[in-house]
Amino acid sequence: MSLKIKYISASIVALFLSFSLFAQQGEVNVEQDSDIDRLLEYKKDIKKTTKVYRIQVYQSVDPDKAQREKSNFLNAYSQWPVETVWNTPNYKVWVGNFATRLEADRALAKIKKNYMNAIIFQPKSDKR
């Protein structure tokens, strides 16, 4: 019985190897409408002018304290992205990526219950 299984297994492996030996080489040319390039440029312009709001919940000169506070925040509020940013001379814990001030204000109202010094701001340059 095991001899049959070995024979079948060897046959299957040989079959797959023969397919890979006869792989075809080719070249793909993509032709696209010039309007697509203009749309991509338009999208870049929109992203540059889009305002983003964030909430700063903590700052410290000690990176370990900032990281610990980031973890504490994530335990309490998992619905928003959180990052630790180094901004001379402090490490800051920033929350969210809010598209409108109203959205940021609503989040701030919830966050202020545990972080009374939290503030809304607009980063000077957004990495995203």
All structural domains of the chain with their residue ranges: 51-121
CATH 3.40.50.300 fits 51-121, yes or no: no
Instruction: Give the pTM.
Output: 0.60
Q: What pLDDT sits at residue 125?
A: 64
**CA 118 to CA 103: how far, in whole Å?**
15
Kindly provide the b/e burial profile for residues 92-118, where b requires at least 16 CB atoms within 10 angstroms of the residue's own CB: bbbbbbbeeeeebeebbeebeeebeeb
Chunk the chain into consecutive blocks of 10 residues (it has 128) and report each block's average pLDDT, rounded to whole numbers. 72 66 75 83 69 95 96 95 94 95 96 96 71
